[in-house]
Amino acid sequence: MKNLLFLLWGLVLGCAVHAQSTTEFPPKWLGHWEGKLSWYAGNAKTPKKVVMQLKIQAADTLGHYTWQLIYGDQSEDNRPYVLKPVDAGKGHWAIDERNGIVLDQFLVGDLLPGRLPFKTVPSSTIIAWKKTTS
């Protein structure tokens, strides 16, 4: 009987730990990322290159993360957004621009695809976690 209770308690704890871990954003995404954004506008054959940074860190609210986009230098175009779980267990997240715009994102492996809500031109984004060498 003791062994059965111990086994059941172990299963309960194991399920609780697994459920908790699925609500976190993947730790390998956290950090300060820098690079060049390839921006294709209209029917352009070659992209415009824009220096860009993305800073992702745990926020003060449990389960929320900073999602700070910087285009150019810090003072040029700094966008301090928040990444929030919608249904993190299913990979559903939202980037809250804190101005009434909330972008749905879906974590699929190492990709975070979503759509931008432009009324005039539909647009999609795919953010990929990819280790590169300089």
Res. 83: pLDDT tops 90: yes
- Of residues 57 and 6, the one with the higher pLDDT is 57
Which residue has tokens 């062994």?
A: 3
- Of residues 37 and 6, the one with the higher pLDDT is 37
Contact 80, 94 (CB under 8 A): no
Q: Provide the pLDDT for residue 127.
A: 61
- The model's pLDDT over 13-72, given as tens digits with 9 standing for 90+, comes to 333 333 334 568 999 999 999 988 887 777 888 888 889 999 999 999 999 999 999 988
| Residue 108: Cβ-neighbour burial (10 angstroms; 0-12, 13-18, 19+) | exposed
- Average pLDDT over all residues of the chain: 76
Res. 73: pLDDT tops 60: yes
DSSP secondary structure letter of residue 90: G
Average pLDDT over residues 87-107: 92
* Rounded-to-integer distance, Cα 128 and Cα 41, Å: 20
Q: Provide the pLDDT for residue 124.
A: 60
Domain 25-128 sits in CATH 2.40.128: yes
The DSSP bridge pattern shows strands 92-96 and 77-87 to be antiparallel
Q: How many CB atoms lie within 10 A of CB 25?
A: 20
Residue among 45, 34, 88, 42 nearest 64 (CA)? 88
Element (H, E) at 19: helix 2-21
pTM (2 decimals)? 0.70
Res. 1: pLDDT tops 50: no
Q: Provide the pLDDT for residue 60.
A: 95
Q: Provide the pLDDT for residue 30.
A: 93
